Amino acid sequence: MGSILWLGFSYLLGAVPFGLIVARIFCGIDPRLNGSKNTGATNVARLCGVQFGLVVLALDIAKGFFPVFVATGFSESAFFWSLVGLTALIGHMHSVFLRGQGGKAVAATVGVYLALAPGPLLWAALLCFVVIFFSGFVSLGSLTLVTAMPVFLLLTGRFGWIFIFSLVVMALVYWKHRENIGRLARGEEKSWRKDKEDQGP
């Protein structure tokens, strides 16, 4: 019973739209109606400023990390840990507070991996930052991160439920990024560097 309740809590925590809350309180903007129309940290940073984007990033990472970290304290099942992480991510992607809509869950995914596999996450995150730095595309870096995680899990001998979880997460994040992938293929994706140039000094 406790495990079921924790899964419910994980979903609800994941469903909290921190990007919408921060943007409305501090900027008076609904990110669902502006920019990329996404409630994630990248769009909030574009609309409100980098400092607010970083706040959303930290909160979204926390809502992925916290339920999984706590679950590792009262359960020894990697399957349950993965299920908790997946529930939090689904909450973010399909929030009950946003009528089933939601974000792309990359920051929340980082939080889940921070609790489940911090070593592989470090390498995947470094690769993600390198891709963003040289390409200017946050979406491409995000896709790189979720693609690299199964590889680094295998390289570190993680063949069980967490590896299976990483494949499911990769599929979900790719699906949520399907429009970005189309724009990348057409050369129409918006570059983070271009956004900074458009904002001016």
What integer is the mean pLDDT of 94-119?
94
Reported as a single tens digit per residue, the pLDDT across 120-156 is: 999 999 999 999 999 999 899 999 999 999 999 999 9
Domain span at residue 130 reads 2-199
Q: What pLDDT score does 193 carry?
A: 63
- Count of structural domains, the chain: 1
Q: What pLDDT score does 197 carry?
A: 44
> Comparing C-alpha atoms, which of 112, 191, 94, 103 is closest to residue 149?
112
Alpha-carbon span 48 to 71, nearest angstrom: 34
Reported as a single tens digit per residue, the pLDDT across 7-18 is: 999 999 999 999
Reported as a single tens digit per residue, the pLDDT across 146-185 is: 999 999 999 998 889 999 999 999 999 999 999 999 999 9
Reported as a single tens digit per residue, the pLDDT across 18-54 is: 999 999 999 999 999 988 788 888 899 989 999 999 9
Split at pLDDT 50, 70, 90, the class of 199 is very low
Query: Is a pLDDT exceeding 70 seen at residue 194?
Result: no
Query: Is a pLDDT exceeding 90 seen at residue 61?
Result: yes
What integer is the mean pLDDT of 67-77?
95
Q: What pLDDT score does 178 carry?
A: 93
Query: Is a pLDDT exceeding 60 seen at residue 201?
Result: no
What integer is the mean pLDDT of 77-105?
94
What integer is the mean pLDDT of 87-96?
96
* Mean pLDDT estimate for the chain: 92
> Comparing C-alpha atoms, which of 156, 155, 70 is closest to residue 112?
70
